[in-house]
Amino acid sequence: APQDVVEIVDTALRRAEAVLAEHRVAVDLAPDLPVLRLDPVLFEQVLFNLLDNAGKYAPAGSTVTLSARREGGRVRLDILDEGDGLPESEVERVFDKFHRVRKSDRVRAGTGLGLAIARGFVEAMGGTVTAANRRDRRGAVFTVMLPVPARTAPKDIAA
């Protein structure tokens, strides 16, 4: 079924309200987002898991930003936070099952499965999800790239 990105983002944000209750949330959605043909349950769970982490690992009062735009024939979603970010050696390992970065993370609720599940779901939708550190300031950024169905993609896609 076609899925409005704006609708899915709204649903995920509503679900994440409790975990983001003490954060500022900034949402930046491009006006030309296409309709995606993706499983809305998977898509929403991916966004939720990333928002849940931003809420858990970035301090109260900091800003969590969710942006979405078209990029090179795909839709790119970024979830940015202002927490400690990730050691460079961890940006790939965080997607491993049960892997947690800091000893102190063990006192926080969680099993270390959220990102493994998110990656499995994104790949099932034909996309990718990657982690990095922000360049402009402290914090992590998780980037989800999802395919736009050929029928609704513009013919002259810029790379």
Question: By the criterion CB under 5 A, which residues form the site for Mg ion?
Answer: 53, 114
The runs of H, that is alpha helices, within 1-159 are 5-15, 40-57, 114-124
Q: Per rule CB under 6 A, is residue 110 in the interface with ligand ATP? A: yes
Q: State which of residues 94, 144, 146, 148 lies at the interface with ligand ATP (CB under 6 A).
A: 94
Instruction: Please say which residue, 34 or 139, places its beta carbon nearer to ligand ATP.
Output: 139
Instruction: Please say which residue, 116 or 153, places its beta carbon nearer to ligand ATP.
Output: 116
Q: Per rule CB under 6 A, is residue 115 in the interface with ligand ATP? A: yes
Angle between helices 40-57 and 114-124 (to 10 degrees): 150
Q: Per rule CB under 6 A, is residue 4 in the interface with ligand ATP? A: no
**C-alpha distances in angstroms, 4 versus 7, 10, 33, 48, 78?**
5, 10, 8, 16, 17
Q: Per rule CB under 6 A, is residue 122 in the interface with ligand ATP? A: no
Q: Count residues contacting ligand ATP (CB under 6 A)?
A: 23
**C-alpha distances in angstroms, 136 versus 33, 42, 52, 58, 155?**
25, 31, 22, 16, 34
Q: Which residues bind ligand ATP (CB under 6 A)?
A: 49, 53-54, 56-57, 81, 83-84, 86, 94, 99-102, 105, 110-116, 140
